Structures are given as C-alpha cells and as structure tokens.
Structure 1
Amino acid sequence: MALPVETFFLQQDAQGTLQSQIQQMIAQGILSGRFQRGEKLPSTRKLALHLGVSRITVTIAYTELLANDYLSSRGRSGYYVSENAPSPPNFTPGPDMQDSVDWTRAIGQRFSGGVTPRKPQDWSQYRYPFVYGQADKSLFDHANWRLCALQALGQRDFDSMTNDYYDQDDPQLIEFIARHTLPRRGITAAPEQILITLGAQNALWLTAQVLLTQRRRAALEDPCYHALRDILIQSRCHVTPVRVDRDGLPPEAIPPDTDVIFTTPSHQCPTNATMPMSRRRALLERAREIDAIIVEDDYEFETSFLRAPSPALKSLDTDGRVIYVGSFSKSLFPGLRLGYLVGSEPFIREARALRASVLRHPPGHIQRTASYFLSLGHYDALVRRMGNALHERRAKMEEAIAQNGLQIAGQGAHGGSSFWMRAPEEIDTKILARQLRARGVLIEPGHSFFGGEDQPQNFYRLGYSSIPATRIADGLQALASEISIMSKAGYIPA
C-alpha cells in the first residue's frame, strides 16, 4: 500500500534543517504506528513538490533513514518502510494530551450505562453458541444477495443508489412492504403510512421520541426487550413495568394514566408467550378506554414454522391507535439494520421528520438491494429454508432439554428461535454464563430483561438460530453439568 503524500507535512515551529525535519517527520510516523512496515513512501520528486522543498533535500533525508534501517529501497520501485524498522513503543500520552474538560459537568444527558448486554464479538468461535438473533451463514443465500447488490449498483438504479431522498424512502421497497409483507399480517397500509428505519430498535426509538415526554407514562412488559427499557429511560418519561403471564401482557394491569403501551403480542420477548385473540381484543379495548397508543413490536413472525402466526394486533385495530414495528434483521441478518414503522399518517409524518433530522434516510442502495431480494422471491425461499432448519433444531433442543432435566420457562407456540429457561433458585445465571464460557458454551443471562430492584437471577435464554443441530445435545449436556456442579457447590444469587 502506498502512503498518500497528503499525510506528510512539516510542523510550522519545527527546529533544525529541512533535511532533519523530514527525517524526524517520517521516523515519528513509523514510531507512532501511522506508517506500517512494507508501506511505500511517495517518490522524492512528489514529496519535494508537496512540501515545497528541493528534491535533493528529500533524497538526503531518505538516504539517512535508509542507513538507519527505517526505510528500505527496492531497486527502481522506490522507498518503503523497512521490515526491520523499530516497532511502535507502548505510548502513554504526555501532559499536553490530557483531557482538561470536566465531562461530568459538560454532559447534559447520559445514554451509556443501560441494561442492554453486549454479545461477545467472537461468538462464532465458541463451539456451542446458544446466542439469540445471530445469523447462520450456512443458511443465508449469499449468491443471490450478491446478485441483487450488483443489480442495485447498476446504471439503471443509479438514482436510487446516489440520490438524497431527504425524508423519503425507496418507493420499490415501500411498495413491496405494502403489497406483500403487511398483507401476510392482515395489515393494509398506504405508502404514506410506512417509514423505513434502521432496524426495529431505531423504529422503537423514533416512536418513543415522537409519543413520549417527561410528563407522559409508558407501560411495558416485564420482562421485556432490554433495549426498549433503555430507550424509555433515556426519553425521561414515566415507566411502568407490567409483569406478563403465560398469555403475555394482561390488559387489566395497565395503569389508567398510561399514554403509550409497548407490547410483543405475537412472540413475547423474552418468554415467547403468544397472546390469544381474546386478550388482543381486550388489550385494544383497554387502550381505547384509557385513550392510549399501542406500539406492537412484531419482531419474529417470519419464524412461525410450526403453524401460521396469529393475525397482528394492528390488523384488529379499527381506530388507528396501533403503531406496528417490523424488521428484516431477524430473517435476513442483524447487520442489515433494516426495519419499518406502520402507523397513521400524522404519526408517520412526525417520525419521518425526526428521522430526517438525525440520519436523513437509510442508504438508498441498501434499500434497493433488499427490495430486489424480496421481490425476486429469494426472501421467501430463505425464510422456508430457515424454518426447516429451525424446526429441526427445536426438536433437538426439546429432546436434549428433557434428557438433561433442564426446565423450560417459555417457548413459542408458533415457532421462534429461542427457549426461555429457568435454572434452580440458587443459581445466578450471570455466574453460570461465565463458568460456561470456559467450556465453549454461550448462554444469555435473563436478569437484564426484568425491571425494578428485585430482578430474578435464575432465568436465561437459549437461542438456536446459529448453532448446528449436531452440537446441540453436547452443548446442553455441558450446560446441565455446570448447573449441577454449581448447585452442589452451594452457589447463591449475587
């Protein structure tokens, strides 16, 4: 790799001859790690012209660095950072690089320190990754996604790739969602009632910002999607956790002063409970009674491989009080960060304006690539392939869970890609997760899904979207073995 000449400059207050300044500039670049071994330096003519010095001055500086083994020469090819050049030392900033700003006073609002845990970046290196929401590269249709990406990058789609939509979206993607995706959930929506987002989490953030203020109250499920709790806390609204039961969110437990209700009726997160139709109607009636808006997160309906999913809550809405959140991240891949909001036009108008002030719109070429992948039938084929694989893995999970005496606390009636588990009361699953890592097993402790001070410590989630079916039995055996060891050792919740 050639180092661009623009990265070379002389300090205005530097001391010494021009030759020594150039030597020092290059040596410091190597010692700081900016210039890597094997990288090519600009030619003496080019650097001299850029710095405004004579070529002989640069040549002499290069010759001195060559003699000191900072540089090497490769015939007529030019000068390179030597393979024997000194390695960058461990660098500790000096007094002139210390931050003198009192950030505890300067920061007006904090967004760090939430409850949302981070999955290990190297999760795929573990032999038994029971992690939720990660893609299995063996199932993804790489070839057709690449072809769709190439098509989206073609001259015919130049405008969709390069235009600034400002606050609009790719009309081709909007049309597919309106005509194909939403009808599968029983939802009818016009283009002006649909907004593309950077995934479901971005959709939930936009919704919270538009609907909630410091004086308003939000009711959310407990346990719930931990990132949603972070979003609501950051919005500074009043938050009321409502403990779910086997059928999901109980409408009668929602406080009468609630302004916005957040729920996952088709596949409760994380318990996997499916809300029956009678309760869905009761929830709509409760929202109508207290004049509240409902935000429906339908995050995993595509993984309903056991039987067809129940109609979306939005499909039962007759007065426009349900806002629907959908996402392609679970069915395609998390890194895509592509979701959508469906709601009444006045709400979508405000969400669109807010999105435009933050990020304008999701990249046009990503929207068009996804549009081709969806409209050409590759998406449906992928969902079927994923459904077959998840069905097999679920059967293996159920068999191994039973054989090892593990306890299921919740599983999806229509399918899904995870089990909500309960360990013995004396087990703290945060400690369990740390112990299991040494055995190549990854699980997700459940404490962060709960709100309040008194969080249960013995729940955990097992995802099976990214672990091969052949490894499930051994992984769950190792999990059961560790639980047994911890129980005998007398672990108590921390």
Structure 2
Amino acid sequence: MVISVDTFFLDAEAQGTLQARIQQMITQGILSGRFRKGEKLPSSRKLAEHLGVSRITVTIAYTELLANDYLTARDRSGYYVSENAPEPPEFTALHPSQDKVDWSRALGRRFTGGATPIKPQDWSRYRYPFIYGQADPALFDHANWRQCALQALGQKDFLAMTTDYYDQDDPELIEFVARHTLPRRGILAEPSEILITMGAQNALWLTAQVLLSQRRTAVIENPCYHAQRDILTQSRCHLEPVGVDRDGLPPDALPKHADVIFTTPSHQCPTNATMPLSRRKELLRKAAEMEALIVEDDYEFEMSFLRSPLPALKSLDTDGRVIYVGSFSKSIFPGLRLGYLVGSKAFIREARALRASVLRHPPGHIQRTAAYFLSLGHYDSLIRKMGQAYAKRRTVMERACAEHGLGIVGQGVFGGSSIWMRAPDHVDTTALDARLRANKVLIEPGIPFFHGDSPPRNFYRLAYSSISAARIPDGIGILARELKNG
C-alpha cells in the first residue's frame, strides 16, 4: 500500500532544519502507528512538490531514516517503512489538543440515553443465540443475491447505480412494491404514494419528524419496539403509552387527545399478539372519531407460515389516515437497511423532502439489486425456505419450553420468528442474560421494551431465527437450569 502524500504536513511551529522536520514527521507517523511496516512512502519528487521544498532536502531526509533503519530501499521501487522500524507503543497516544468545550452546555439536544439494548457483535460465536433479527447464513440465498448484485453492476444498469435520484427512487423497485408487495397486504398505491427508506426504523423516524411536534401527542403500545419509543422521545412530543392485551392495542384505552397512534397490529412487538379484524375496524373508527392518524408497522408479515395473515390496517382504511411501514431488511438480511413508507401524497411529499435533505436517497445500486432479487422470484423462494425452517424451529422450541415448564405468554397467531416469555416474578432477566452468556446462551431481556421508570423485570424474548433446530433443546435446557438455580 502506498501512503498518500496528502497525509504529510510539516509542523509550522517545529524547530530545526527542513530536513530534520521531515525526518521527525515521518518517524512520528511510524511511532504513532499511522505508517505501518511494508507500506510505501511517496517518491521524493512527489513529497517535495507537496511540501514545497527541494527534492534534495527530501532525499537527504529519506537517506538519514534509511541509515537509522526506519526505512528500507528497494531497487527501482522506492522507499518503504522498514520491517525493523520501532513498534508503536501499546498505549493509545494522547491527542495533542485539549477539548475545552463545555459540552453539557454546548449540546442543544441529546440523543443518547435511550433503552435500545446492545447486542454482542460476536453473537454468531455463541452456541445458543436466541436473539431476534439476525440473518442465518444457512438460510440465505447467497448465490442469487450475488448474481443480482453483479447484474446491477452491469453496463445496462449503469445509470441506476450512479444516478443521483435526488428525492426519487429506483422506478423498478417502486413498481415491484406497488404491483406485487402491497397487493399481498390488500393495499393499492400509486408511485407518488410510496417512499423507499433505509429500513423500517428510518421510516418511523421520518414519520415522527413530519407528523409530530412539541404540541402533539403520540400513542405507543406498552411494551413496544424500543427504538420507536426512543424516536418519539427525541421528537419531544407528548407520549402516551397504552398497555396491550392478548389482542394487541385496545382502542377503548386510547386517550381522547391523541394525534398519532403507532401500532403493530399484525404482529405486536414484542408480545407477538395479533389484532383481530373486529378490533382493527374499531381502531379505525376510533381514530376517525378523534381525527387522529395511525402509523402501522407491518413487520414480519412475510413470516406467516402457520396461516395467511389478516388484511393490513392500511387496506381497511377508507379515509387515508393510515401510514404504512414495511421493510425488506428482516426478511432478506438486516444489513440491507431497505424499507418503504406508504401514505397519502401530501404526507409522502413532505417525507420525501425531509429524506432528501438528510440522505438524498438509499444507494441506487442497493435498490436495483433488491429490485432484481424481488422480481426474479428469489425473494419468494427465500421466504418459503425461511418459513419452513422457522415452522420446524418453532415447534421444537415450544416442545422444549413445555418440557421444562417455561412460561410462554406470546407466540404469534400466524408465525413470526420469536416467542415472548415470562419468568417467575422474582427473576431479573438482565441478570439472567449475564449468567447465561457464560454458558454460550443469548436471550433478550424484556426491560427495554417497556415504558416507565419501573418496568417489569421478568420478561424476555427468545428468537429462533438465528439458531438451528438441533441446538434449540440444549439451549432451552441450559436456560431452564439457570432459571431454577437463580
């Protein structure tokens, strides 16, 4: 690797000759670890032009460093950092400047402090990873995704890959969402009513920014998706949590002054409750009566391997008051970060303008690759494969939980990829999670999903999306023993 000449700067306040200052600049780069053994330095001519000094000055500096074994020379190739150069210190070098800013006063707003849990980056190294939302490499269609990515890199799709769409999206992806994805949920929408987002979380953030202010009230389910609550808290709106029951969000419990209602009717997060059709209609009636809007997060509807899901809330909406959030990130792979918003033209127009001011649009190459993966039928094949695997894993998990007497309180009517669990009242599942990690078991404590200062501490979630069926019984056995011993 050639070290870029742009990384070299002479310290105007340094003492000594130009030759000595160049030597010091290079040795500091080696001792700090910025320049690594075997890396090639710029030619004496290029470095001299960059620094505005004579070439002979740089050559003499290089020669001195060569004599001190900081550099080595290769015939007709140039100068390289020597393999015998001093090793950088093990400690982290201090930054030469001091931060004198009082950040407690300088920060206008804070976005830290939310309840979003931190999952270990090395989750795949755990033998029993009962964690939600990670891709299983055994199920993913590597070959066809690679083929679609290569196709999207071709000359035919050069403009799709390189064009700045500004506030627009890949027309082929929009067409597929409009003609194939949404009709499966009973939704009809025009391209002007669809916006591609960087996943469902980005869609929720855009929605909150457009619809809410400090004077407006948002309803959230309790418990709910923790990142959604963080988003709404950051919007500074008034937040009203409403407890869910076995059928999801109860319309009768809604506060009369609500402006926007956030709900997951098809697959409540995290309890997996499914809202019956009668309650969906009642929720729409109640929202119309209150002149409130509804934001429907329809995550995981594809994982309905037990029976077909109920129609989306958006499909029952005749007033245009439902804003629909969908995502391909969970069903294809979470790192894809590709979702979509569906709503009235007036709303999408504002959301589109906001997105353009923040990130323009999701990368064109990713959109076109996804469009190919969807339109060529690979997505449907992947969903069928995942559904079959999840159905088997769910059966194994239910059997193992029953065998050990573990309390299942929510498992989804149509399918899904997780089970909502309740431990005995005295159990703190955060502490339980810490103990289980020593036995290579990962679970998700339920505390972050609840709103309030004193959330129940004995709930947890077990996902079967990232663990093979063969390992589930042993993992549940370890969990059961730890619960008993704790």
TM-score range, shorter chain: over 0.9
Give how far 1:44 is off.
2.9
Matches within 5 A, 1:113-132: 113-132=113-132
* Correspondence for 1:406: 406
* Correspondence for 1:492: none
* Correspondence for 2:38: 38
- Residues 292-340 of structure 1: CA deviation (Å, up to 9, x unaligned): 1111000110111111111101111111111100000110111111000
* Correspondence for 1:144: 144
Tell me, yes or no, if the aligned pair for 2:3 and 2:41 is still in contact at 8 Å: yes
Give how far 1:81 is off.
1.2
- Residues 371-424 of structure 1: CA deviation (Å, up to 9, x unaligned): 111001111111111111111111111111112221111001111000100011
Which range moved further: 363-372 or 85-94? 85-94
The residue type equivalent to 1:360 in the other structure is R
Give how far 1:10 is off.
2.0
Matches within 5 A, 1:6-405: 6-89=6-89, 90-93=91-94, 97-405=97-405
Give how far 1:238 is off.
0.7
Alignment partners' CA distance in 2, 1:9 and 1:104: 34
Alignment partners' CA distance in 2, 1:348 and 1:46: 52
Tell me, yes or no, if the aligned pair for 2:329 and 2:338 is still in contact at 8 Å: yes
- Residues 246-293 of structure 1: CA deviation (Å, up to 9, x unaligned): 000000000111111110000000000111111111111111111111
Give how far 1:50 is off.
3.2
Give how far 1:483 is off.
0.8
SS in 2 for 1:79: strand
Give how far 1:344 is off.
0.8
- Residues 160-205 of structure 1: CA deviation (Å, up to 9, x unaligned): 1111111111111111000000000000111111111110011111
Give how far 1:39 is off.
0.9
Give how far 1:215 is off.
1.0
Give how far 1:92 is off.
4.7
The residue type equivalent to 1:251 in the other structure is P
In structure 1, the gaps of 5 or more residues are 487-494
Alignment partners' CA distance in 1, 2:357 and 2:46: 43
In structure 2, the gaps of 5 or more residues are none
Give how far 1:115 is off.
0.8
The residue type equivalent to 1:313 in the other structure is L
* Correspondence for 1:491: none
TM-score scaled by structure 2? 0.97
Alignment partners' CA distance in 1, 2:57 and 2:452: 69
* Correspondence for 1:420: 420
Give how far 1:152 is off.
1.2
* Correspondence for 2:484: 484
Alignment partners' CA distance in 2, 1:69 and 1:164: 49
Alignment partners' CA distance in 1, 2:360 and 2:50: 38
Alignment partners' CA distance in 2, 1:406 and 1:91: 47
Alignment partners' CA distance in 2, 1:77 and 1:359: 43
SS in 2 for 1:97: coil
The residue type equivalent to 1:177 in the other structure is V
Alignment partners' CA distance in 2, 1:45 and 1:214: 60
Q: Show structure 1 runs of 4+ deviating over 6 A.
A: none
- Residues 340-388 of structure 1: CA deviation (Å, up to 9, x unaligned): 0001111111111111111111111111111111001111111111111
Give how far 1:114 is off.
0.6
Give how far 1:126 is off.
0.9
* Correspondence for 1:4: 4
Tell me, yes or no, if the aligned pair for 2:32 and 2:93 is still in contact at 8 Å: no
The residue type equivalent to 1:15 in the other structure is Q
Alignment partners' CA distance in 1, 2:119 and 2:445: 11
Alignment partners' CA distance in 1, 2:476 and 2:428: 17
* Correspondence for 1:465: 465
Alignment partners' CA distance in 1, 2:354 and 2:128: 41
The residue type equivalent to 1:463 in the other structure is A
SS in 2 for 1:282: helix
* Correspondence for 1:438: 438
Which range moved further: 146-155 or 266-275? 146-155
Alignment partners' CA distance in 2, 1:458 and 1:311: 33
The residue type equivalent to 1:161 in the other structure is M
CA RMSD of aligned residues (A): 1.3
Give how far 1:59 is off.
2.8
Tell me, yes or no, if the aligned pair for 2:242 and 2:249 is still in contact at 8 Å: yes
SS in 2 for 1:421: strand
Alignment partners' CA distance in 1, 2:149 and 2:301: 26
Alignment partners' CA distance in 2, 1:80 and 1:207: 53
Which range moved further: 435-444 or 16-25? 16-25
Alignment partners' CA distance in 2, 1:313 and 1:439: 42
SS in 1 for 2:261: strand
Tell me, yes or no, if the aligned pair for 2:401 and 2:407 is still in contact at 8 Å: yes
The residue type equivalent to 2:187 in the other structure is I
Alignment partners' CA distance in 1, 2:467 and 2:80: 46
The residue type equivalent to 1:476 in the other structure is I
Alignment partners' CA distance in 2, 1:249 and 1:406: 25
Alignment partners' CA distance in 2, 1:14 and 1:256: 69
Alignment partners' CA distance in 1, 2:173 and 2:301: 19
SS in 2 for 1:21: helix
The residue type equivalent to 2:154 in the other structure is G
The residue type equivalent to 1:359 in the other structure is L
The residue type equivalent to 2:323 in the other structure is I
Alignment partners' CA distance in 2, 1:249 and 1:49: 69
Give how far 1:45 is off.
3.5
Alignment partners' CA distance in 2, 1:177 and 1:223: 30
* Correspondence for 1:490: none
Give how far 1:84 is off.
2.5
TM-score scaled by structure 1? 0.96
Alignment partners' CA distance in 1, 2:148 and 2:221: 39
Tell me, yes or no, if the aligned pair for 2:429 and 2:445 is still in contact at 8 Å: yes
